[in-house]
A and B are shown apart, each in its own frame.
Chain A
């Protein structure tokens, strides 16, 4: 059996996906990027291969993506996370139907991608110079509120009052705004829903730049947060599709590309 890997090295997490000779996902792994991207990526790949039972010689082709992609020297190929994300979303949403728009929120950036019906990227917009409204921002918020990141969704749905506006467009200033709200005895629930809406409004502006088309897919770690999903749906006024493993879409895209590339490389028809 032949296997193909996609490795997505992000600012916060390393995501690896392995597909088999039919392009089907057989295993995935998410681990912290930490301080030594290259070493941790290698270790994580070895561990995943052991879990899935892939012998080193069976791994035929590897594609690296994400902003640490150049660091992974063993990769056969590098591609940008925009392309990988588009391919991955198409693969992950096969049963769901056509995807036209992707919202991706990562550890330190956010993106909106629009695709044609072939799955080609038509347009994209990125907010990559500022951590406001990213996963890092959610970490900071959770830490200030002394709750876990995984509890944010729960608090969001428990909110009964008007969500509190967070108007600062900078993560650092927003943090002091939140501390101020806490100091004024506001409930954590309304602060959390306010934070989600402030992120949602910002991402919707980004999506509007590329055009909002039905078939909206949301991925990246923060897509695990149901409260944020709810806020984005409300701001868009449209349903969005969140895959079962929103963190690994981009690495899946890289793995699918590895599988396709290998077919072309070895001259087989895929």
Chain B
């Protein structure tokens, strides 16, 4: 038909795969390019993200995969029942564009991207069951859309008030029901021993994270914030044991570095606490801009990173029912998500992080269309002003081309922090 060309044409699926691979490779390349003293042990995570997102290599062959739509789904319960938890929160612009056909144009890019992956069934680990907690409005409403697409969906009821005893009981019941349903679904009985082992396994991963994170308090943080996001984001889909082993190696290398005074930034680099809508690979747009502008992210308050590890399950009595309730409490009481009516804990945590990690300023990013983070910036900005902590508020989405404006704002903020530092 065509004298000049006789090559085959990609299927829509192949095209989507190529687009996503292009996005992923771009970010990994840029991170490598700007890395100051890149750690050797990071190679595992770079390669893991490449394999998972470019080659679509599944991580949990032979296991039932439970896809979670939000951080609030109890990881320990899924693991104890012998299934693999896979967090489906998505950072791809490619999928965001696809999901845009199912959701209002002003909705959150993360939810659009997640729905986009469902619409095209484009997963390295296709979920056998999807769990959506009723946290933010958009994820809550996405439940129906995903169900319409033919996925089995389980909704977990989640309260919107954090402090009351009613919420606590309500959420505990939700977690108990989820445990029962999943146990039936998987034809597996939950035992004391299994849940205890899972709490320990996740708890160990959390301990490693805390030890690694604490090293960033050093005058020269040994690891960049972007590398740290790669590490924490890998927890979404990696096997927990493999992840912990890789973090052990990284930790050993980082401890050496702190002793030798090798850092991932310069002494003069302003130290930043990142907060707001979660950076999820490959959407590290804002964290990358921050570190390209010669600042260093020393800590974060976000649900794709710090919040995964911050609070551990704290068990009073090692009986099955007590353990399930303790797991439920970890997820409600430790949560600093802006879906709650009041969110003083989040402000407290940001201020704490700034002090503990000797940060010079805070960058608060909200996705355009992420209403709760957009709304909460007022109270956070007011609280930071009261504390005398400089803060930059940015709105962004997943599109790769609008970097110009953001770059200028981030660079100006970093420069202002530098001149403050010089004056001190």
Q: Do A and B share a complex?
A: yes
- In angstroms, Cα B15 to Cα A154, docked, is 21
Q: Is the CB of B2 within 8 A of A184?
A: no
Q: Is the CB of B15 within 8 A of A237?
A: yes
Q: Is the CB of A96 within 8 A of B22?
A: no
CB of B187 within 8 Å of the partner chain: no
| B29 to A, closest residue via Cβ | A184
List of B residues within 8 angstroms of A161 by Cβ: 25
Q: Is the CB of A197 within 8 A of B22?
A: yes
CB of B11 within 8 Å of the partner chain: yes
Quick check: which of A1-9, A31-39, A52-60, A225-233 contacts chain B, the rest being far away? A225-233
How many Cβ-Cβ contacts under 8 Å join chain A to chain B? 66
CB of B284 within 8 Å of the partner chain: no
Per-position binary interface string of chain B over residues 2-38, scored 1 when its CB falls under 8 Å from any chain A CB and 0 otherwise: 1111010111101100100111011001000100000
- In angstroms, Cα B403 to Cα A167, docked, is 9
Of B2, B23, B33, which is within 8 A of A165 by CB? Answer: B23
Tell me the A161-201 residues at the B interface (CB within 8 Å): 161-165, 167-169, 180, 184, 186, 194, 197
Q: Is the CB of A184 within 8 A of B33?
A: yes
Binding site of A, secondary structure by majority: helix, strand, loop or mixed?
Answer: loop
CB of B242 within 8 Å of the partner chain: no
Q: Is the CB of B9 within 8 A of A242?
A: no
List of A residues within 8 angstroms of B25 by Cβ: 161-162, 164-165
Q: Is the CB of A239 within 8 A of B2?
A: yes
- In angstroms, Cα B6 to Cα A230, docked, is 9
Q: Is the CB of B4 within 8 A of A226?
A: yes
Tell me the B21-78 residues at the A interface (CB within 8 Å): 21-23, 25-26, 29, 33, 54
Q: Is the CB of B9 within 8 A of A234?
A: yes
Q: Is the CB of A194 within 8 A of B1?
A: no
CB of B401 within 8 Å of the partner chain: yes
CB of B104 within 8 Å of the partner chain: no
Given A165-B25, A184-B33, the answer on whether A242 and B5 have CB atoms closer than 8 Å is yes
List of B residues within 8 angstroms of A239 by Cβ: 1-2, 9
List of B residues within 8 angstroms of A238 by Cβ: 9
CB of B150 within 8 Å of the partner chain: no
Chain A positions within 8 Å of B, measured between CB atoms, are 96, 157, 161-165, 167-169, 180, 184, 186, 194, 197, 226, 229-230, 233-235, 237-242, 244
